[in-house]
Structure 1
């Protein structure tokens, strides 16, 4: 989650009391992949802000009840202001004033809660091998207590053919990019999304969810959920080493007290994307006890291995036995999360 803070520049106004129009500010956030090669903008998010002084006129005989929360709504599609009020209550059977009540901040307008809720703001896939498909689930909830919601779902975007809706509108195992859905009050419905990349690249689309209007004059609510994923994965192997069901076996020769033994491992990436690799030596794998650096040292202990390249990892040891774990992950995804 990235927070973008806005601070309006200080502005000096004349003392005449006249209020001018609000100042408009605009910018954008560009999202790129941090990689050694040429990169392109994955997505641009526009930013807009308004700065100024609002003047609100309220009638003198305004009466506020219930939660003592006055909500001022500036139409159309304008900002909303919430003002906390304090008051004194005078009992009818007593001439004494009660103590001032504390400020009460209510939840605001309850009708601002959207009628359709989702458990995800976006759906992202990591690297997926070309020729394969990976499914993710999205849960939609009808937030209404008495009305059934009719929804239309549609996948749009530059790579819309790589994203599909699966087994949602019929019992058959078929794929589609659009469909209709009916959700009863307070009901949850699971939407199955499928991503099948066609090339080694980042792919983007969006899932549009539109609520059918209750009346012709009242349009339905529409919102989108971004979809992203990329094709290709890394695949790490060790060359010229004995392979077992649970890994590889490397033999240290010439073990003697006070002597340093050395073995080199060739790590190869046979996949189509770069991988980040971190090597860790454990004295006890079950308890995750780390081997002392004075006993076993690894060089390099972490590195980036580009697609279809190799790296030699050397292990220096004066101990008889240790377990080396190679923790591997997609380098492009790691850079995205770091940023």
Structure 2
């Protein structure tokens, strides 16, 4: 279960250390009107990795800070009447160059993403926007990406190509190097009975032809032979990816969400979350996140924001 019980956090510690070595990123925090979201922003600021700009009803933010015993006197507060205005105002601040990163507060993800994806006033780029869980699984040697488990419900092939490229780019931008990417399905053979296997094969061919770049891509792979070398060997699957994947691309949101939560609640993993493919990285945190996961989410956002941009605005 997601908690703060002592265990190895080496993967997240390395990311947080890298972020601390960079200048703090000015971060637009949208509607931080509960203790979890406000405290998360303040703790990241105290760690020296962000400079928060708090966007929401000023009186409500102040009352939340007082109840939580959090000092926000050093931070800019942009007063707006409600969560919808906070989402719109936060996006406008990014568009005007007043922040390089965004963080979700106590509003629903759909409400924030509605403003982010607005055709004329949002933060869209030429790339499909997608979500990546960056997971610290104690029993797995690699930092494990799972995508997309929060934004795209049933992505088609074109959307999946962007989802894969977004995750590869993120892997590079936070300093983890060239990733091994597994396109997941229920089986490791291509069959018309499972459309996800056909799409996996197509994505591999796209990578082979240079339509997807920067990573080693293989699939379809079942979960076991994507992450376990012995399982891959038993199935006689020989590739640079099988058995030691670093990015898991799921067939749809339901599969990804269940996989990430299974790892969190049954394998003791922490799950940092970030939205990529927009003009700036967007940190998504949950009330169930551990302190370590929240700080890792901020660190990943900072590392992404402070690296050279790779996506042109739409």
Larger-Rg structure: 1
Higher relative contact order (CA 8 A, sep 6+): 2
TM interval, shorter chain, is under 0.3
TM-score, normalised with respect to structure 1: 0.22
Name the structure where helix makes up a greater proportion of residues: 2
TM value normalised by structure 2: 0.23
